[in-house]
Amino acid sequence: MSRIGKKPVAIPQGVTITVDKNLVSVKGPKGALKFEHHEDVAIEISPETILVAKVGKGKNAPAIWGTTARIIENMFEGVTVGFKKQLELNGVGFRMAVAGKKINLALGFSHPVEVQIPETLEVIIEGNTMTVSGIDKHEVGQFSANIRALKPVEPYKGKGFKYTGEHVRRKEGKKSSK
């Protein structure tokens, strides 16, 4: 039994939601999002809340039930407040800059790295901190993870991309024998 699925999702002020068969559309001040939910769940809309009900009897129906409720809640948060992730780039000679809809990165490779920014995301670079923001939680998180995967932080000197606030366990390195 999903405790998350049982909780009703409150509809924020200024947000409209429509359900057409399996397609959920949410519109708010920051934009619009769409989500196609599984047929094992049904969505009931009341004036102030949304209730996700389990319809299917399958083994994964309880998991889909709770997941659908939280995805809808994340859609509400995205169209009202938005999401953002911050990445830090540490290392001597490592640089990053935004040029139009591309990010130019110097990560210690023999070539510069260019990354195309999706249309729905906004990237701001201040010093060694990159802020990725948008209305879709999945897209913000995936783009941030793709950037981090280009040069993940290494444990010896701490060079590379890490999330702001992420703790990296440092290793000691080799010792000379004397």
Q: What is the pLDDT, as a whole number, of residue 132?
A: 97
Query: Which tens digit of pLDDT belongs to each residue from 53-66?
Result: 988 888 888 889 98
Whether the predicted pLDDT of 1 surpasses 60: no
Residue 168 lies in a domain: no
H/E element, 9: strand 9-10
Whether the predicted pLDDT of 2 surpasses 70: no
| Angle at 143 (CA atoms; ends 65, 134), nearest 5 degrees | 75
Residue 172 lies in a domain: no
Distances (CA, A) of 89 to 25, 82, 101, 167, 177: 37, 23, 19, 14, 34
Residue 178 lies in a domain: no
Distance CA 170, CA 168 (A): 6
Q: Domain containing 20 — which CATH number?
A: 3.90.930.12
Q: Which domain holds residue 16?
A: 3-80
71 and 98 assigned to the same domain: no
Domain count, the chain: 2
39 and 89 assigned to the same domain: no
Residue 43 lies in a domain: yes
Average pLDDT over residues 31-36: 95
139 and 71 assigned to the same domain: no
Which residue from 123, 103, 121 is spatially nearest to 113, judged by alpha carbons?
103
Residue 7 lies in a domain: yes
Q: What is the pLDDT, as a whole number, of residue 176?
A: 78
What token pair was written down for 97? 């800059």
Single residue among 28, 51, 80 that ends a domain in this structure: 80
Whether the predicted pLDDT of 79 surpasses 70: yes
42 and 74 assigned to the same domain: yes
Distance CA 12, CA 6 (A): 19
Alpha-helical segments (H) within 17-174: 61-80, 137-150
